[in-house]
Amino acid sequence: MNKASIVVIGAGISGLSSAYNLAKKGIKDIVVIDKAYITSGSTGRCGAGVRQQWGTKLNCILAKKSIDFFAHAKEDLGYEKDIEFKQEGYLILSTSKEEDEEFDKNVKIQNSIGIPSKKLSVEEALKIVPHLNPKSFTSASFCKTDGHVNPFLMSEAYYLAARKLGVKFYFFEEVKEIVVVNNKIQKVITDKQVILTDKVVNAAGSFAREVGEMAGVEIPVFSENHEILVTEPTRELQGPMVMSFSKNIYCQQVPHGSFLMGRSNPNALHNHDISSSWQFLDEMSKTVCHFLPEVGKLRVIRTWGGSYNLSPDHQPFISDTETLPGYFMACGYSGHGFMFAPITGELISGMVLGEKLDDYAKDLNIKRLIDNKFTDFEKSVV
Amino acid sequence: MSKKDIIICRCEDVTLEDVHKCLEQGYTTFEEIKRILRVGMGPCQGQTCSQLIQKEIAKYLGKNVEDVKTQKTRPLVTGVKLQDIADSEDE
């Protein structure tokens, strides 16, 4: 029977970052299991944006620490290819007085921890994205160090670095059971093998709730489909991600030249559906043509869907489990697991090793909800 | 002809050598190779490269080509301008 000091379930960005950080800190016999391959779930379907402009201090801290890592990730991980880190900012549009006031508050929180965001007038925003419809917004907030990272290549960078440090990967293998006896994890059973272990990291993304149930751990998250589309590549046209929470859009030109854009469906069901709908295509086209008429001239070449794994307060659980020692989770990112991956790995590895963590980490614990202590609620989400 | 000069995916300029490197690294499904090399992500959405890559995967794994999984296809079938979709009305 195989043995592991810890089994990480899920080879998306959270699992990969956790495995890498654990290995870097000297842990041996780490196993990562995925029912398909790296980035086969939500990571490989995400919008590829990385931002620090959040409404809760907790999300701001996680984002800033992660961006700081992306800046030297290639060197740290010894990756041969380019992770396509582009820092041309996020321009977030406000469309009402209420939203404008909300952004004032947000920018204050962001600045308080050193995120260089600021409010912009319509004229100032137009200098950064000249093809914006000037009548479509009333003001904006901008952070020049936000931007883009390629999710596939960033994941591969973590994967190769983890493999080099001795982490073992099992792909196309599905975890079926986590055996717990007398409140102790005993083994993980997949459709191909049994692995003896006393520690598990639930990095199952969209399936976090199910992987919680396998060990009798209740995790209050659910998944819903979020659709995206991509256009043909074109000349360099737009530096920053353009976003509006109130009008439900994010739209960025990636270094490759294509535009990625998405919006949420307020009627999305809580399930694992990731299909494409014509309604999305219709609404997305109308929304983008309203804000960015120039982008409307581009051809759509593909639409797809991916799961958001939503927590009740739109902030993640990066947490141990009081009721089950050895059970750790990184889930409930509410659509932002990719951009928080670097700090996720650092925190998970710290928790596993029993390190003393920074004070903010206690708010990532799943207890914040069980104790009914809502820390904060993140509204800055598309 | 050198593997470097054989273009497998014209949309993303991917050569046979790139594909073989990927296979040797252990990426042996179209979906995995797509995520690393962008094959099938361009304007033709894999209409040319998917069968070529399927054959390469089959050869590498010693399988029959019909036993190699094809890639996931998604709408749209052909590129359409966002503006044309925004302007269209059913009524």
- Neighboring chain B residues of A296 at a CB cutoff of 8 Å: 81-83, 86
The pLDDT assigned to B89 comes to 77
Report the mean per-residue pLDDT for chain A: 97
Residue-wise pLDDT tens digits, A2-15: 999 999 999 999 99
Point out the residue among A285, A295, A300 whose CB comes nearest to the CB of B79: A300
Residue pLDDT, tens place only, A175-206? 999 999 999 999 999 999 999 999 999 999 99
Token look-up 């307060």 returns A313
Q: Which of B29, B34, B35 to mutate to test the interface with A (most CBs of A within 10 A)?
A: B35
In chain B, how many domains are there?
Answer: 1
| DSSP run (H or E) holding A132 | none
CATH (one of 3.90.550.10, 3.40.50.9100, 3.90.700.10, 3.50.50.60) for A2-45+152-221+313-370: 3.50.50.60
Segments forming the whole domain that contains residue B41: 3-87
Residue-wise pLDDT for B24-79, tens only, equals: 999 999 999 999 999 999 999 999 999 999 999 999 999 999 999 999 999 998 89
Query: What average pLDDT does the segment A287-304 reach?
Result: 97
Q: Is the pLDDT of residue A375 over 70?
A: no
Query: Closest approach of chain B CAs to the CA of A47, in angstroms?
Result: 14
Residue A376 binned pLDDT confidence (cut-offs 50, 70, 90) = confident
What residue ranges in chain A does DSSP mark as E strands? 2-3, 6-9, 30-33, 49-50, 90-94, 117-120, 139-143, 147-148, 168-170, 175-181, 184-190, 194-196, 200-202, 222-231, 241-244, 249-253, 259-263, 299-310, 317-319, 327-331
> Do the Cβ atoms of B27 and A152 come within 8 Å?
no
Closest CA to A73 of A361, A360, A353, A341: A341
CATH number, residue B39: 1.10.10.1100
**B81 → closest Cβ in A37, A296, A304:** A296
**Distance between terminal CA atoms of chain B?**
56
Task: State the smallest CA–CA distance between residue A4 and chain B in angstroms.
Answer: 23
The pLDDT of residue A292 is: 98
Write down the domain spans for chain A: 2-45+152-221+313-370, 88-148+222-308
Q: Which ipTM did the prediction report?
A: 0.91
Computed on alpha carbons and rounded to an integer, the radius of gyration of chain B in Å comes to 16
Mean pLDDT computed over A122-146: 98
C-beta atoms of B86 and A295 within 8 A? no
State the fold for domain A88-148+222-308.
Answer: D-Amino Acid Oxidase; Chain A, domain 2 (3.30.9)
Per-residue confidence (pLDDT) for residue B91, from 0 to 100 = 55
Partners of residue B81 in chain A, C-beta under 8 Å: 296-300
